Amino acid sequence: MLCEVVAVPATTQCGPLVLDIHLAPVPVLVVDATGLVAAVNRAAATLLGRKPSDLVGRHPTFAIEETAAYPVVVQIQRPDGAALYVRQAIQVVDATTFVFLTDVTVAEEAHQALVRANVDLEQFAHVVSHDLQEPLRALGGYVQEIDRRYRDKADAGGHFVFDRVAASVERLRRIIRDMLQFSRSTRGDTNERTDLASAFDEAMANLTAAVSRGDALVQLVLTEAVALKFNRAQLVSVMQNLIGNAIKFRRPDVAPVVVVSGYVTRDGTAIVTVEDNGIGIPAAGKDEHLFGVFQRFHGTAFPGSGVGLSSVKRAVERAGGTIRHEDASGVGSRFVFTAKVVR
């Protein structure tokens, strides 16, 4: 039995605990008040590729990574050279620490493969989108030249063809632009200190034409200066997308009103809200597909490729925040996202 292999005096506080962990089907280490391994069950010894007697009395650095946050996944090296990913969780009882180990090697390797695949896919999207811009510009130029030379000679059917080709080129241009924006939503330093008001100002400068064209009123309401842990270019893009959508999806004959507000909670989280008086989002769009790529819930009634909200979500989550949509008192939309505050 394990309690015979591991020499733990029955009179110590650890004594009864050795029998308990021996019955446990999961790998368990017991660390005493001195910080040394007092006991280990067979499941843990097998996972670590060692004899139980080789582990007792040692500092558990061979299996435990000291950290302020548990559970945590770490990589360990077995004596036979095998590398494992192990999830560590701890439970402290009086002066005794129980360390529970779970082999997550298969899941972690699959996760890392998925991360690599996503990086490759994002790189591919960026390169393809970038490389497509030049031939598309050339195609657009040829279409304009053909239209200039032959529109007067064409009948109504010819005019229709010219207009459809030009519209298709413009739509493709928007899709490529949005694909580039989407690929950039996971690039850049996420540890930047970015002033929310400054990002709002830059987004508004980029939206000058849209604001003027739509006769929109856009306001920023802050109770205090707010600096976020957020890549500046991506925060500007988030603000520009949300405000731009609020202006675009307006009600007929109603001037758009957009209010951007923000405050900081006691735990140091910023809550940023972008609210408008527009047409809102159809009920069919208020599910997990709202932030999906190429999702367009208003059909072709409004221009766009359906990439904007997906880029917003990726940028917010990359900065460690969350985003959700709410109805704005029965009229319009309200998007709320969170971000970490930098003091």
* DSSP reduced 3-state for 328: coil
On the question of pLDDT at 50 being above 60, the answer is yes
Q: Which residue has the tokens 């904007």?
A: 308
Measured distance CA(62)–CA(81) in Å, rounded: 13
Identify whether the C-beta of residue 234 lies closer than 8 Å to the C-beta of residue 185.
yes
Which span out of 155-169, 184-198, 226-240 was modeled with the highest average pLDDT? 226-240
pLDDT band at 66 (very low <50, low <70, confident <90, very high): low
pLDDT of 49: 86
Q: Which residue has the higher pLDDT, 132 or 247?
A: 247
Residue 337 predicted with pLDDT over 70? yes
pLDDT at 186: 61
Band the pLDDT of 62: cuts 50, 70, 90.
low
- Strand ranges in the chain using DSSP code E only, listed in sequence order: 28-31, 37-40, 72-77, 83-93, 96-103, 193-195, 217-222, 227-229, 257-264, 269-276, 323-327, 333-340
Count CA within 13 A, CB hemisphere, residue 281: 23
The larger pLDDT score, comparing residue 125 to residue 87, is at: 87
HSE on the CB side for 215, CA within 13 Å?
Answer: 5
The pLDDT of residue 3 is: 31
User: For residue 161, is pLDDT > 50?
Assistant: yes
Which tops the pLDDT comparison, 337 or 79? 337
Residue-wise pLDDT for 259-298, tens only, equals 999 999 988 899 999 999 888 776 544 555 676 555 555 4
What distance in Å separates the CA atoms of residue 7 and residue 298, rounded to the nearest whole number? 72
pLDDT for residue 81 is more than 70: yes
φ, ψ at 118 (rounded to 5°):
-65, -40
- C-alpha distances in angstroms, 63 versus 73, 87, 224? 11, 10, 46
Q: Which pTM does this prediction carry?
A: 0.53
What pLDDT shows up at residue 8?
A: 36
